[in-house]
Amino acid sequence: VNWKSLSARHQKRVALSVEPWRNFLPVLLDGGCTHYVKPLYQLLSETPGLETLRDQRISYDSRLWDDVRGAGGYNTVTGIEDVERTIFDRYNTVLHELTHQVHGVMTADQGREIQEHYRQAKERDEATKNGFLSRYAGGSVFEYFAEGANALQSRKRDAYDSREEVYERLESMDPELMSLVRRGMAITDVEPNYPIAYVNAGQDQVGKGKVDAGALIGARTLKGDGATASELATRAIRIYPASGSVRTTAADAFWRAGRPLAQVLDDLKEARSTVREEDRYLVDGAIGSYAWNLGLVDDALTGYNALLGYQSDSPEGLWGKAAALALAERWDEAFPLYEQAVRLRTGVLSLRCDVARDLIRAGRLDEAAAHLDEARLLEAENPIAEALRGWASLAAGQPQEALEHARQARAFGDWCDLARIVEAHALKATGDPAAAAREVEPVRARLRGNEPPGYIYLPKLATWQSIHELPLVERKLLEALDRP
């Protein structure tokens, strides 16, 4: 983006860094991807396209985005100091972040091949504790591929070079990844990658709340256009019946278009055997999630156990299995799994909220408060976390405090059903059952009408929030209002 502002010295280093992926540069440019070299004085959230990262944290380790030098994605940023460091054979952040962008325009089959190599590396690491070039490379399939590209282009300076991501270590530890990256860099026919780049451009607009920018199933679902989304989903399944990604995206579209979730779950379970084996982990995760929502503990555990069979330290698998076990009040089994998931994804707000919710249900209020404190650091004005603080106050016998939290939660986001339910409990406990009934009537009306869940766009976070899912744990709390 700011090529002309760079010195000739830095332009040369950037050109050398992007050269390995030269065949993909026209694809990325045509799709509108950018790469900005950030001056020392700028924060990440002050760079083009990343303004919404202000005060946000990284899901892996909870660092503030503004405390890191760069970021990958559709709009990529690298610090000028990292460009300078490559002159002295230091870590090549430009190449690393560019590799993320290239990974993002890989075709489905190319992406599956990378995913399969990552799965094999996970198995190898579990057996040997030495399956990855670095701990960071093991964190996700995207970092695994990018670290491989970096290592391929970085030979050791001398015998005292202590870098982890170097050619020699890649050659000895993961020759399959070396071969995979080499094949990727040697691709000359990039025509199949152009449609992916155009889809990414549409997704970037969707991420900014502009759902009219694309006719994707997901975009139509976000917009609330259930009929169109369902039609697109049906066509996609007919054309790509073995794709796990298509199956799970379609399932979400069908549910939000009004198909009963039990039917969506049954259809997904029936379709699982027709999905290609390397994609089934996607279907397993969706099965686990939908079954949990419905309160089907055994089905949820089956789905999440299958996901963990694919990758034993899958954060989503650990998280989902913990939630399923907690649904059955198998606390001693659930919370150790939650702890493992949190260690892998310390900066995921919804995970912190789920842990806190189940700790409240288990009567472990002090531990729940600790997770809600962490949640406040991640997002100070999150309505779900605030509603959970209200639920904790109810459990502690403090209805007036619960009422204050619930009303604050609704001020943060009136779409939060849990906030309404907690507020109703607090009103009932303070002697106003009529007001309690009024507060939850919109929730009950949606249940009576079998209204599907939807999405709402949160501009400050540049993200879409799923609303009105009403899982069993919330429905039980609602039903408790009818008890004396």
Which domains, from first to last, does the chain contain? 3-185 (3.40.390), 346-484 (1.25.40.10)
Buried b (16+ CB within 10 A) or exposed e, 173-195: bbeebbebbeebbeeeebeebee
User: CA nearest 193: which of 184, 203, 205, 204?
Assistant: 184
- pTM, full prediction: 0.88
Bridge partners of 458? 463
How many CA atoms lie less than 13 Å away from 368 in the CB half-sphere?
Answer: 23
Distance CA 280, CA 366 (A): 39
Residue-by-residue pLDDT tens, the chain, 484 positions: 899 999 999 999 999 999 999 999 999 999 999 999 999 999 999 999 898 898 898 887 888 999 987 888 899 999 999 999 998 888 899 999 999 999 999 999 999 999 999 999 999 999 998 899 998 899 899 999 999 999 999 999 888 989 999 999 999 999 999 999 999 999 999 999 999 998 888 777 767 666 554 446 776 677 777 888 899 899 999 999 999 999 999 999 999 999 999 999 999 999 999 999 999 999 999 999 999 999 999 999 999 999 999 999 999 999 999 999 999 999 999 999 999 999 999 999 999 999 999 999 999 999 999 999 999 999 999 999 999 999 999 999 999 999 999 999 999 999 999 999 999 999 999 999 999 999 999 999 999 999 999 999 999 888 999 999 999 999 999 999 998 8
User: CA nearest 292: which of 100, 470, 79, 448?
Assistant: 470
